[in-house]
Amino acid sequence: MTDTRPWTETKVVGTAQPRIDAHERVSGSAVYARDLVLPDMLHAAFARCPHAHARVKKVDVSRALAMPGVRAILTADSPGAKLPFYFTPKGPLSWLFDPHCRHEGEEVAAVAAETIHEARAAAKAIAVEYEELPFVVDFEKALDPGAPALHEGGNRAGEPEKHERGDVAKGFAEAEAVVEMTFRTPCEIHTPMETHGSVVKWEGDRLIIHDTNQGVFDLRSAYAQYFQLPLGNVRVTSQYMGGGFGSKLEPGKYTLAAALLSRQTGRPVKCFLSREETFLCVGNRPPNLLKLKIGAKRDGTLTALQLVGVGTGGAYPEGSDAGYLASDLYLCPNVKIEETNVYINAGKARAFRAPGFPQGAWALEQAMDALALKLGLDPVALRLRNVPKVSQRRGGIPYFSTGLAQCLQDGAKAFGWEEARQRPRGSGPVVRGVGVAAGMWGWDGDPRGTAIVRYVADGSASLTTGASDIGTGTKTWMAMIVAEELGVPVESIHVDNADTDTTPYAVLSGGSQTVHVNSPAVRAAALDVKQQLLEMAAEQLKTDVASLELKDGVIADRSAPDKKVALKDLKPLQEQQTIVGVGRRRPHPKGKVGLPFVAHFAEVEVDTRTGEVRVLRLLGAHDSGRVMNRLTYQNQVFGGMTMGIGFAMTEDRVLDRNTGKMANANWHDYKIPTAKDVPPDFACLPVDLRDTEWNSTGTKGIGEPATIPTAPAIANAVFHATGIRVTETPINPTQMARLLAARKAGR
Amino acid sequence: MERVSRRGFITSAGVGAIGAAALGGAEAETAAATVRAAGEPAPITLRVNGRARALSVLPRTTLLEALHEHLGLAGTKPGCERGECGACTVLVDGQTRYACQMLALEAEGHEVTTIEGLARGEQLSDVQKAFVAEDAMQCGYCTPGQVMAVEGLLRHEKDPSLDEIREGVSGNLCRCGAYAHIFKAAQRAAAARRNGGK
């Protein structure tokens, strides 16, 4: 079944429902791949390049091979190890073990041993002779004449990303106010709590991969291709996984090395990265330099937007563009965006929660704040003047619904924006301010997938879905949909997920698509079960199926209430014992598009003596369509804003310009937000426009938008408090103290 | 055995027994009484969740490894293995400790409580129930450590203020950012405990 009407009222969906797997998560009994122990299992570790840029001249494994517990060592020369990595349209740029190491931490060899300590000791004992090469780690210098080239053809990673409409020269000529500013955002690292890794074994020519990832089916395809196996011969699982944020979508060298070592030794192999390794080799949010110019009429109507950007996806191809928001968040007829992506000697970027959007928001939303000041307009009012009804980026396709105005208006009201804006900022050394920033997420997802509901004769049910629950509560809202449609209590619905052997295809859990892509399929599967039950009852009651309804375990005829049958007396159900309902996601409706919108409001306190900034409160107003589960929705919003605090205030990969190596590859020196960095006052305000056209559940997605505008909202609040515009993240005491001192000195 | 100082280690580097203890972790000052050569397993008995557990570990083995790898108590999670994240938080004699920052040898003679020791059978503890009710988790990987941190806090402070709660879990990172819900769970658990475990 695929076609279903939108909900009007719901009983279960939209309530606050504790997770169906919360017991496992709080009791410690949930088994993550990191916890998995298989009989006779070996442990694997990598030897990695310690230099920023080097060529491997010689690898001598003889001493390592003789060490206690060592069972196998893989190098670039091992049979089957020449597996391609990091693709361009012209082909792969690298290999599992590439003798040309382009960043600190590139994989050179891998060891399997009886214990992890033996594996790590042996990996250290592998003697590698390197020829060190000159390096470049500052992306703003990667295209300088004489900068060391990472790849043949230089450090330009593909053609610049461009978007152009209208005529910006004309637009700026028409403008009555123009702001032009330069912004920088350093590199952010994902650092999920569970490090990256896999437990791999072979069963003959079947490859079994227990993994921590965000999309088992995409990875199955990748590994099947690497080993030239039919899809059915590869099993990938990721039921409990300890966070990803985009960094667990790509094939892992750790998985491939474990698979090769497992095949060679005939034993299962576990390969998990250390915390330090995850800072170097499994992705990051690209750093950007963004030069933004905005022009507007006196009333705030935007006339032109121009963005010139440079960014880096590291040593290998990965988009670093951050221009989407400038092209689509606000109505503007004249837009020109050009972004250059360069290579540097650092780990490759990966998708990171709303790739490009927090960087773009940092620039656009601070520039809008500056523009509002210049025009003498309220920052909320300026934004409201430019709310689009169509996606200009997509050539003018209308949105099904645009909640941007409501997010700004309702958010401002709930936050007490106008009062807070008027309040004195403080006359002492500690000053206060408030700021706002808006955003949207620009991807409408990949609407494919199937869900299967099994309804059991006693009125309980189970659901299978291929989707990963990456901490967002996927399994729980899915159970809520089944409960909604079939009246089964949420707590007696079991959900099996993310196992390519036992669950139907689902797209990856990322890009805020999991809810809006999968929920219609789950709903259709439940309705398929319901239809089958009604048809069984129609036959048994000898009545028309269209007049029957299922309520509280009884199917009854609406026109003749005495014509009814309890499910326990429904003969075909009791005979079959299990009814299987299958639901499929239909494609998006054509001609319009559905995207989530957001506005964040922040209040901060700045100690002008020390440069310390405290976030006092944050409010997130989100148009993400229908709220499926109030509890997990709010958790996503607060979690996204918490990550936004990290982006705004604490996180910054430091590459040592003298060595090209990362100086803070650990959680002590690379600061992510702690419990003391989040405000005591967090508020979540859902804006639901009851979109009935976009899909059958009226959902849009919340994961990415929740983190997009937090940082500029904080920066705008800091400006409001101090009059200091912080254009470069992070807003930490070091930077604030410098800026405050510079102001004092009149610089 | 006498206390082994860092200075003592430096001057006597290479001496098997002392070196072995010091190699095991940074906290040589508190090295345990029984010290063996680095490559030789030592039989130890740990008291974990009220039971004596005999095992044989290399002196370098951390309490985290002993729990997670040797005893199969996988609720105590490795997150950084260097005292930064708190995913491996346990109670040692009722005090919150990072299990990765203690040698298994050092834990001998002390009462270790892990996440598996909180529930009675399948009956969750008050703190665990509060975490469920407030959805004080996302991916769940840091959750056992967060629960243990709140348990440790409530054993010492029956009615913690929000600031005390924030301080109490500030050694436990949550990359998903469930902190706001964790605070609520701690408040709910504290209230439940004050009201007699209801």
Give per-residue pLDDT as tens, B132-168.
Answer: 999 999 999 999 999 999 999 999 999 999 999 999 9
Average pLDDT, chain A: 97
Contacts of A258 (CB under 8 A, 6+ apart): A44, A112, A198, A199, A200, A269, A270, A271
Q: How do residues A521-576 score in pLDDT, each as one tens digit?
A: 999 999 999 999 999 999 999 999 999 999 888 999 998 889 999 999 999 999 99
Asked if A35 and B144 come within 8 Å (Cβ–Cβ), the reply is no
Q: Between helices A253-265 and A216-226, what is the axis angle to 10°?
A: 50
Q: How do residues A53-74 score in pLDDT, each as one tens digit?
A: 999 999 999 999 999 999 999 9
DSSP A648: I
- Looking at the predicted structure, is the pLDDT value of residue A721 above 70? yes
Pick from A397, A470, A477: nearest CA to A697: A477
- pTM of the full structure: 0.95
Tracing tokens 């042996």 back to the chain, one arrives at A122
Residues of chain A with Cβ-Cβ distance to B114 below 8 Å are 28
Query: Which pLDDT belongs to residue A561?
Result: 84
Q: State the CATH class of domain A33-133+195-241+248-281.
A: alpha beta
Pick from B154, B161, B165, B166: nearest CA to B194: B154
Task: Give bridge partners of residue A183 from the DSSP assignment.
Answer: A290
Q: How do residues A584-625 score in pLDDT, each as one tens digit?
A: 999 999 999 999 999 999 999 999 999 999 999 999 999 999
Q: Which residue of A has its CA nearest to B143?
A: A26
Q: How do residues A201-239 score in pLDDT, each as one tens digit?
A: 999 999 999 999 999 999 999 999 999 999 999 999 999
Nearest to A674 among B75, B122, B170 (CB): B170
In chain B, beta strands by DSSP E: 42-48, 51-57, 89-92, 95-98, 111-113
- Looking at the predicted structure, is the pLDDT value of residue A277 above 80? yes
Alpha carbon of B116: minimum distance to chain A alpha carbons (Å) = 6
* Apex B53 CA angle, B49 and B59, nearest 5: 110
Tokens of A51: 């230099």
Taken as a whole, chain B contains a residue count of 198
* Apex A696 CA angle, A693 and A701, nearest 5: 85
Q: Which residue of B has its CA nearest to A633?
A: B135
Q: Which residue of A has its CA nearest to B117?
A: A27
Residues of chain B with Cβ-Cβ distance to A670 below 8 Å are none
Residues of chain A with Cβ-Cβ distance to B161 below 8 Å are none
More confident residue, B171 or B25: B171
Alpha carbon of A88: minimum distance to chain B alpha carbons (Å) = 32
Per-residue pLDDT band for A453 (boundaries 50, 70, 90) equals: very high
Task: Give bridge partners of residue A623 from the DSSP assignment.
Answer: A597
Domain boundaries along the sequence of chain A: 22-30+445-584, 33-133+195-241+248-281, 288-444+591-744
A469: Cα within 13 Å, side-chain hemisphere: 28
Average pLDDT score over residue span B66-76: 97
More confident residue, B3 or A188: A188
- Give the mutation candidate from B67, B96, B125, B175 for the A interface (greatest A CB count, under 10 A): B175
Please give the domain boundaries of chain B with CATH numbers for all domains: 6-117 (3.10.20.30), 126-194 (1.10.150.120)
Nearest to A678 among B87, B143, B180 (CB): B180
Asked if A640 and B172 come within 8 Å (Cβ–Cβ), the reply is no
A22-30+445-584 and A288-444+591-744, same CATH topology: yes
Residue A704 appears among annotated catalytic residues? yes
Q: Which residue of B has its CA nearest to A68?
A: B39
Residues of chain A with Cβ-Cβ distance to B174 below 8 Å are 193, 675
CATH number for region A22-30+445-584: 3.30.365.10
The answer to whether the beta carbons of residues A371 and A341 sit under 8 Å apart is no
Tokens of A579: 């009814």
- Looking at the predicted structure, is the pLDDT value of residue B7 above 90? no
For A196-205, b/e burial (b = at least 16 CB within 10 A) is bbbbbbbeee
CATH number for region A288-444+591-744: 3.30.365.10
The answer to whether the beta carbons of residues A119 and A644 sit under 8 Å apart is no
Per-residue pLDDT band for B196 (boundaries 50, 70, 90) equals: confident
**d(C-alpha A347, C-alpha A382), whole Å:** 40
Query: Which pLDDT belongs to residue A746?
Result: 84
> Between A and B, how many CB-CB pairs are < 8 A?
175
Q: How do residues B118-139 score in pLDDT, each as one tens digit?
A: 999 999 999 999 999 999 999 9
Residues of chain A with Cβ-Cβ distance to B59 below 8 Å are none
